[in-house]
């Protein structure tokens, strides 16, 4: 039997790594934690997870020397998956931790766009921020991670901020929270979810299984 692809999960001190690893193993993948440039470079597939603040995430990636290796990996053609904060870090910058909305905290700059905060009165509705709980996905274009799922499949979100891509064609699925927002992205070898597949039960396991099978 051929060796299974080596999936690396980036450990940059930003939470929920073990739950992602266990979920990948549950669907038949093998995954190791990596926290060095060499660990990223050697991977066949890469997962950038994360829970917490954007500014801390970028600070730790930079301190560990991981930002440039992640950028190089994203351009390599090898499959890469960002989850929650890991999705947000792929963009140019974020309002979170920023001194002002027009001075965003710089991100990895792999995808053009910005991360913005849900407004409590978004869409004329009174919203609880953060959004915490299950929400339905909708999509109108193919995304290999969504193969085999039904429209309206529910996944689990915990977030106060969301992505506004400059190029909206990278948005592969949307959800509604006082209006549409970007719930997942797909561009070439790059995938990302604002929701947590590792907490999304059957639907999340199918998404991770699709990633393992790429």
The closest of 27, 64, 34 to 48, measured between CA atoms, is 34
Distance CA 187, CA 111 (A): 9
Identify whether 182 is a catalytic site residue.
Answer: no
Identify whether 198 is a catalytic site residue.
Answer: yes
Q: Which of 84, 159, 182, 186 is catalytic?
A: 84
Distance CA 212, CA 100 (A): 39
Q: Which of 96, 159, 186, 198 is catalytic?
A: 198
Q: Which of 96, 159, 182, 196 is catalytic?
A: 196
Identify whether 186 is a catalytic site residue.
Answer: no
Residue pair 76/44 in contact by the 8 Å Cβ criterion: no
The closest of 197, 204, 206, 166 to 182, measured between CA atoms, is 166
Residue pair 112/92 in contact by the 8 Å Cβ criterion: yes
In this structure, what are the phi and psi dihedrals at residue 151, rounded to the nearest 5 degrees?
A: -55, 140
Helix (H) or strand (E) holding 184: strand 180-187
Distance CA 135, CA 34 (A): 31
Residue pair 130/158 in contact by the 8 Å Cβ criterion: yes
Distance CA 125, CA 141 (A): 28
Among all residues, which ones are annotated catalytic?
A: 84, 196, 198
């Amino acid at each position: 039997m051929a060796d299974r692809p080596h999936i690396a999960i980036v450990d940059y001190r930003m939470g929920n790594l073990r739950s992602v690893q266990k979920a990948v193993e549950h669907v038949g993948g093998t995954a190791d934690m990596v926290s060095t440039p060499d660990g990223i470079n050697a991977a066949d597939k890469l997962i950038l997870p994360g829970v917490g603040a954007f500014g801390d995430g970028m600070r730790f990636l930079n301190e560990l020397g991981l930002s440039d290796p992640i950028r190089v990996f994203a351009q390599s053609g090898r499959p890469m998956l960002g989850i929650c904060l890991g999705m947000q870090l792929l963009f140019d910058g974020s309002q979170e931790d920023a001194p002002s909305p027009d001075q965003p905290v710089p991100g990895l700059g792999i995808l053009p766009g910005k991360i913005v905060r849900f407004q409590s009165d978004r869409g004329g509705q009174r919203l609880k921020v953060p959004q915490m709980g299950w929400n339905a996905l909708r999509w109108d274009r193919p995304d290999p991670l969504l193969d085999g799922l039904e429209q309206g499949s529910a996944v689990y979100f915990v977030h106060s901020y969301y992505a506004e891509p400059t190029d909206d064609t990278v948005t592969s699925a949307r959800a509604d929270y006082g209006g549409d927002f970007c719930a997942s992205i797909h561009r070439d070898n790059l995938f990302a979810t604002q929701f947590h597949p590792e907490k999304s039960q059957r639907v999340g396991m199918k998404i991770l299984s699709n990633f393992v099978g790429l």
